Structure 1
């Protein structure tokens, strides 16, 4: 078998190990209700189509406000510090969020996430995202306007038509900067900021 050629500068980059993102988490009771709904959704899907989706555990259910990147070998200190500076500058009053529909982020015919979404009840999340985005931009972090407020309920699910669901509603009083240990299903809170606008 011939040896593989090695060319300087063309080696594959190391795989990412650490993710950084801002998030909003539901209270424990709301998270438990959403987790129960996710398990039922997976059970119904398995019964109907034989597809075994993977429901998200209650303590991992969240809204990602802004993903800041995946990195290899740890989080860059300068990005973490810039994110913290931007978060401190956000001034906003607490608000209520409500998700009232289940939808799919899957693309036919592939499997993908099943998510909770909303219309009027997610405007506060949009406003918080926009305020955070503006603050990040001022701190030199590349803008990313793509934001669809949602809570991922399960992975590996077939495409489904958007349909009403029992509302999941909670008061958002803070947001957090999270360190995700990729592939290990572990999230570490780096900092939290109360909403006191």
Structure 2
């Protein structure tokens, strides 16, 4: 059997251990209502998937990258400088539909989406992208992918057609956003800093 050639330049990259992203979180009452909805939908689907706890429910604004061996200090510093420069008034976020991010026949996330109710989230994300560019964050902040604000209720759910939430829409006033350190594979999110939303006149 011939010996396998060792190509140092082609070794597998290290496994990412830490993620960095901007997010917003619902207030406690809204989070509790969404978690209850997740429980109801999981029960109706008759699957083993468990809904996310209220404390884990969030909307990702902008994913800044996954890293191996900890978060790069320069990336965190640039992200914080960018966030501190944001001047935007509080706004309302409303999620009125249940959607599936699964791909038939494979299961996937079950999420809440918002249509016109999430225009403020698009505006905040765009502002962060511009601020990151000025803060010299680097090419990880450049995102050309389409963005659909959503709240993940549960993973491993079967595909289902998008439909209105069977109860009242999930709605809250967004007054702040946060920079989050995700400990990958450990289901932990640590808020590194939070910034209140305020208009430039305040």
Same topology, TM > 0.5: yes
The Cα shift of 1:3 comes to 7.1
Residue 186 (1) aligns with residue 188 (2): yes
CA distance in 2, matches of 1:7, 1:71: 23
Kindly provide the CA deviation profile for residues 153-189 of structure 1, in whole angstroms up to 9, marking residues without a partner as x. 1100111101000300111000000000000000111
Matches within 5 A, 1:1-197: 5-46=5-46, 51-140=47-136, 141-142=138-139, 143-145=142-144, 146-165=146-165, 166=167, 167-197=169-199
Work out whether residues 54 and 154 of structure 1, in 8 Å CA contact, stay in contact via their aligned partners in 2.
yes
Tell me which stretches of 4 or more aligned residues in structure 1 moved more than 6 Å.
Answer: none
Kindly provide the CA deviation profile for residues 98-134 of structure 1, in whole angstroms up to 9, marking residues without a partner as x. 1000001111111110000012211111111111111
Unaligned runs of 5+ in 1: none
The Cα shift of 1:52 comes to 2.1
Q: Tell me, what secondary structure is at the counterpart of 1:33?
A: helix
CA distance in 1, matches of 2:131, 2:185: 30
Unaligned runs of 5+ in 2: none
Q: Tell me, what secondary structure is at the counterpart of 1:84?
A: helix
The Cα shift of 1:77 comes to 0.7
The Cα shift of 1:137 comes to 2.1
CA distance in 1, matches of 2:98, 2:5: 50
- How many residue pairs get aligned? The number is 193
Q: Tell me, what secondary structure is at the counterpart of 2:7?
A: coil
CA distance in 1, matches of 2:103, 2:2: 40
TM-score scaled to structure 1, two decimals? 0.93
Across the aligned residues of Structure 1 and Structure 2, the Cα RMSD in angstroms comes to 1.5
